[in-house]
Structure 1
Amino acid sequence: MNNNFKGKTVIITGASAGVGAAVARTFAHLGANLVLVARGQSALDKITDELKPITSVINIAMDINDPVANETLLEKAAQQFGSVDVLINNAGFHQRGDVENNQANDLAQMVDVNLRAPIQLACLMLPCLRKEGGGAIVNVGSLAGRTPLQGAATYAATKAGLRAFTYSLADELRDSGIYIGLVSPGPIDTGFIMSEIDQVEDIVFSQPMSSAQQVADAIVSIARGEETEISLPRASGWLTTISYLFPTLRRALRPALYNKGRKAKLQYKRRNSES
């Protein structure tokens, strides 16, 4: 697949709001056919109606935890547009807080949504991409998947697993014309974080906030095969690498990062209350 997405079919999970909606808008303006996936029909209809004047788009309200629904998704996309060229695994779930303060089933659901479902969808997608002679799978990871994060242990584990899967699959498909990669953002200025800001660990806000559009632009770069991973912000990616390699340093820096994040969190809360 070349860098031109005009006429290509792009499946986007978690497409009804936030990063997913920004990705949908970006690919729409690049001329792609869109298959938008999320659980809520009304929110899907809203973004679909917005983009229909720009490009061809269908939506499918479904739960990506349903293996049968995932198989049907690929079939419907191919039937509608004749081919499936790009998969964006964006849907995510985060049950915040320490492990012992959570229900086991909620933690298991995080594994299902953030790791099992993207793996299944990627596996289902590969025959489609082989048939087309190329394409792309882009997974949305997190800085939390690059280094241990207390208060988000299971979430970090799912994103670390998704990152390992992405790099391994990229090696398996090297020179195939199928691009595999992931975007690993820190905090993003969307409802995923901002609507439950009090439950988010202070340390998360120690890193600069990205916009949904910045993440969407990075996803397009990955889909074009320009890089295997993009961390947002880039400097935070370097910081997570250092903290992973040197755990003693990570623990020593943690109080300062919590303090920095706490101050930034208060500023964001003040901004939200004034808007």
Structure 2
Amino acid sequence: MTEHLLDRSTYPTVVITGASKGVGEACAILFAQSFPDGVNIVVVARNVAGLHEIKNKLQAYPQCNVLMVTGDVSINSCCRHMIQQAVSYFGKIDVLVNNAGLHHRGDFEKREPDELASMVDVNLKAPIYLTALALPYMPSNKKSAIIMVGSLAGRAPLQGAAVYSATKSGLRAFTYALADEFIARKIKVAVVSPGPIHTSFIMDEIDHVEDIVYSQPMSTAEQVAQAILELTQNNKTEIAMPWLSGVLTTVSYLFPKVRRGTRPMLYKIGAKNKNKYRQ
């Protein structure tokens, strides 16, 4: 038992939150595929059934050691348990993917205060807290990385998603500040900022998602996972995707009048695209 644990400790260890479906699931599979010589993957989520499904899929990669941890990232004690379990089983953490997200959609005044607070807890507090917990167990080398899953809404605020935009904007600011802070430690910190992703996160709630969201090209979970993997290996601090949407969010942030002026047109495009997705 001890000998096997030592063998596993030589492999890179990747911790992925929100790993039971969507981008998290795609990340787990991609990382398993990308380390043919051996990798330890810790999949974290609240959905026990989903965790078992992803564990079964990862069994196709015999060089991949899988640890399932059930827990809610909005609860501090659960976060501590996740990190302790990862370190207990594998000895260290090389990559932390802060992917878990929550979005209660709709106008600010129509949401309950507790719903608004829960978005802050999951989308912003949890990545900060998990990063602080994981740091003591991350080697100071170029293979260590902390990747945040942000959003284009964090680059340009979106009405109907005020708190969600705020959490993703805060996560992006946290990333850029930490990236500079950790240069000497050689730990990579970066953020992927995707637009709409074709997952249950928005497709299961299509009637409640703002039309403007569908005005942008849709990425797949696999494309976002690929960007996350690339960020662990390149020298970029952020990947905004699709590329053109990233440019447009920069323009709309710098020039609010442009954002407000183009909004009616984008809502029309989004409503048309939404109907296509329904069909």
TM-score range with shorter-chain normalisation?
A: over 0.9
TM-score (norm 2): 0.92
Does the CA-based 8 Å contact 1:139-1:166 persist in structure 2?
yes
Aligned to 1:251: 260
Q: How does 1:198-209 map to 2 (within 5 A)?
A: 198-209=207-218
Q: Is the 8 A contact 2:252 2:258 kept in 1?
A: yes
* Identity %, equivalent residues: 52
Q: Does 1:143 align with 2:147?
A: no
3-state SS, counterpart of residue 56 of structure 1: strand
Aligned with 2:19 (options 15, 24, 31): 15
Distance 2:181 2:141 in 1: 18
For 1:137 and 1:167, how far apart are their aligned partners in 2?
A: 12
CA distance in 2, matches of 1:217, 1:132: 22
Deviation, structure 1 residue 226: 3.3
Written as runs of structure 1 = structure 2, the 5 A alignment for 1:119-268 is 119-130=128-139, 135-268=144-277
Q: Secondary structure at the match of 1:244?
A: helix
Partner Cα separation in structure 1 for residue 70 and residue 141 of structure 2: 26
SS of residue matched to 1:139 = strand
Is 1:85 the equivalent of 2:89? no
The list of structure 1 runs, each at least 4 consecutive aligned residues, that deviate by more than 2 angstroms after superposition, is 130-134
CA distance in 2, matches of 1:214, 1:25: 12
Distance 1:128 1:82 in 2: 8
Aligned residues: 265
- Consecutive unaligned residues of structure 1, counting only runs of 5 or more, are 1-5, 271-275
8 Å contact from structure 2 (residues 25, 54) kept in 1: yes
1:193-212 per-residue CA deviation (whole Å, 9 max, x = no partner) reads: 00000000000011000000
Structure 1 residue corresponding to 2:50, chosen from 19, 27, 43: 43
Post-superposition offset of 1:130: 4.2
Higher alpha-carbon deviation: 174-183 or 7-16: 174-183
Q: 74, 98, 107: which one pairs with 1:65?
A: 74
Q: Pick one of 112, 130, 133 that aligns with 1:103.
A: 112
Q: TM-score, normalised on structure 1?
A: 0.94
Quick one: distance in 1 between partners of 2:43 and 2:194? 22
State the secondary structure of the residue aligned to 2:120.
helix
Moved more, 64-73 or 116-125: 64-73
Which is further off, 217-226 or 249-258? Answer: 217-226
CA 1:221–1:132: 2 relative to 1, 3 Å: closer
CA distance in 1, matches of 2:267, 2:180: 37
